[in-house]
Amino acid sequence: MERKKIDMTQGPIMKNVFLFAIPMILGNILQYLYTTVDTLVIGNYCGKTSLAAVGTSAQPVEVLLCIFLGIGTGVSILVSQYAGAKDAERLRRAADTATFFVYVCGLPLCVLGWFATPLILRAMGVPADTWDAAVSYTRIVFFGSLGNIGYNMNAGILRGMGDSKASLWFLVVSCIANIVLDLLFVAGFGMDAGGAALSTTLAMYLSWVISVVYIRRRFPELRLTWLPHGFDAGQLKQFVRLGLPIGLNNSLYSLGHVAIQTLVNAQGSTFMAGNSVAGRVTGMANIAVTALSSAATTFSGQNYGAKNFDRLRKGYIKIPVISGAVTLTAGLCVMSFRMPVLRIFTRDAAVLLYAERYVRVMLLSYWFYAIFNGIICIVNGVGLIRYTTVVNLLMLWAVRIPSAYLIDRYFDGTYLMLCFPISFSFGMVMMLGYYVFSRRWHEIIRTGLEEEGGGGSRAAG
């Protein structure tokens, strides 16, 4: 079968971006279902304290995983640059190094997470009525870290190669497995939150296995192996140089969410459950953001690697703006049927009150985040990660968390979600400012203009 991959260095820009993003959007829908099934099954078969446990348990796992998944983004950036430069040898070495990284990081995280779970949840102030379910859920999800890192690393390789369709099929299989196992473990065996975590963990390992099989068959030139057998020290340093700031940034970002979750926990299990349910609905509006952002990274990385600066110049504004427009449209659509969707998860009136309030605030402001994240991914794709890291940290630690604490202290803690649109607006303005004031970015754009003036650019559409 012929391999189909998208070359971002030629052809109509937005057509390629959407062709790349559509499979990822479908995949994100499946990932949304993947996590939503846990909430849906638990909400209908267990109760609001289990819902609260699942909602608060996701945050500490994210903190540690984000560091390693950030390295996966570094892998994706370099693979896209190597693919743009048609460098087969460095692509093969990148696959070897990525496999080495999966095991070196994934196995210790499984063990560390299991023993650290009670300490983490105690620090988060998890209420007594949700404690047992939260510990069980978090420990089992940590045990799935190896599969999670392995799958996301391979997905990064595929994105860098221009193949965004394969991950969709991996997720189809794992989503079906997750649904079946959720119903079996939670509804059938009565395993509560721990059963939901076990089904998610097993499904993630299945995705990892399928991704390895696919890459070995469809991209044999990468020579991807099941177990590590060597690595390129220079490339590993590059992965870390590019990915670690992104990973630390994302991890600190998630740690900030833990700080906010602590404020949420202080409002009680009903408010916690409302936030957990609302997160499943607002996740619908985030589906396009992550897909278009990944497409932006691949577009930027491939064209930068190919030294096609004119084409990069033609897409650096267009992609984030369209991402914002798509996200706003999706948010307004979801807003129109938010209550019927929320009632699928719970019939508790108090939980629904808090969930509906959260949904309204988030869906009307998420397009700020879409533009902000689109620009960040364009800039990250060319390897200019220092400024984006600083902005992300400021957005969280200097704006979002302080505003959340001020809202809780001087206004009403049940309106904590207002801290998100405040920080989204700040981030968008700061990244637009990068386009305006960055000397390095101006050099890239000026080179693109010179290419166009010299008639050396390719048709961009």
Percent of the chain topping pLDDT 90? 18
Winning range, highest mean pLDDT, from 69-73, 237-241, 422-426? 422-426
Question: 303, 305, 300, 337: which is closest to 435 by C-alpha?
Answer: 300
Span 150-177, average pLDDT: 80
Gyration radius of the chain's alpha carbons: 22
Span 413-442, average pLDDT: 92
Question: Region 405-423: what's the mean pLDDT?
Answer: 91
Residue 164 confidence (pLDDT):
67
Average of per-residue pLDDT across 376-386: 87
Residue range 307-346, pLDDT digits in tens: 888 888 888 889 999 999 988 988 888 888 889 988 888 8
Quote the percentage of the chain above a pLDDT of 70: 93
Q: Higher model confidence: residue 360 or residue 221? A: 360
pTM, 2 dp:
0.66
Rounded to whole angstroms, the Cα distance separating 68 from 112 reads 14
Task: Give residue 218's identity as a one-letter amino acid code.
Answer: R
Binned at pLDDT 50, 70 and 90, residue 430 comes out as very high
Give just the sign of the alpha carbon dihedral 196, 59, 418, 285: negative
The pLDDT value given to residue 401: 92
Domain regions of the chain by residue span: 13-453
Residue 31, pLDDT score? 66
Residue 231 phi/psi, 5-degree rounding, is -155, 160
Structure confidence at residue 373 (pLDDT): 92
Report which of residues 4 and 418 the model is more confident about: 418
- Which burial class, exposed, middle or buried, applies to 223 when counting CB atoms under 10 A from its CB (0-12, 13-18, 19+)? middle
The 10s digit of each residue's pLDDT in 101-146 is: 888 888 888 888 889 889 888 888 888 888 888 898 889 988 888 9
220's tokens: 């044999």
CB count within 10 Å of CB 271 equals: 24
Q: Nearest-CA neighbor of 168 among 294, 22, 38, 298? A: 22
Measured CA to CA in angstroms, residue 264 lies from 117, 151, 269, 412 at distances of 19, 31, 9, 12
* 313 contacts: CB under 8 Å, gap ≥ 6: 444, 445, 448, 449, 452
How far is the C-alpha of 319 from the C-alpha of 252, rounded, in Å? 27
Residue 184 CB neighbour total at 10 angstroms: 14
The predicted structure's pLDDT at residue 10: 83
Query: What is the pLDDT averaged over residues 185-212?
Result: 88
d(CA 358, CA 276): 10
Angle, helix 48-85 to helix 13-45, in steps of 10 degrees: 160
Residue 458 per-residue DSSP state: P
Contacts of 86 (CB under 8 A, 6+ apart): none
Q: What confidence score (pLDDT) does residue 459 get?
A: 36
Q: Does residue 127 contact residue 51 with C-beta atoms inside 8 Å?
A: no
pLDDT tens-digit map of 9-46: 888 888 888 888 887 777 677 667 766 777 778 877 77
d(CA 10, CA 5): 12
Please list the alpha-helical segments (H only) found in 46-87.
48-85
| Residues 320, 389: Cα–Cα separation, whole Å | 18
User: Between the CA of residue 315 and those of 3, 303, 308, 458, what are the distances in Å?
Assistant: 26, 10, 11, 13
In angstroms, the Cα distances linking 255 to 64, 120, 121, 345, 396 are 9, 11, 13, 27, 10
**Please, which residues have CB within 8 angstroms of residue 83's CB and are 6 or more apart in sequence?**
91, 160, 161, 162, 302, 305
Other C-beta atoms closer than 10 Å to the C-beta of 203 total 25
HEC assignment per residue over 313-347: HHHCCHHHHHHHHHHHHHHHHHHCCHHHHHHHHCC
CA angle 51, 54, 57 (to 5 degrees): 145
243: tokens are 């990915």
Confirm if 83 and 302 have CB atoms less than 8 A apart: yes
pLDDT of residue 4: 55
Lowest mean per-residue pLDDT among 39-53, 349-363, 419-433: 39-53
Q: Which of 124-133, 238-247, 352-361, 452-461 is predicted most confidently?
A: 352-361
pLDDT of residue 428: 95
Q: According to the model, what pLDDT value does residue 93 have?
A: 83
| The pLDDT of residue 2 | 41
Which of 273, 266, 377 is closest to 320 using CA atoms? 377
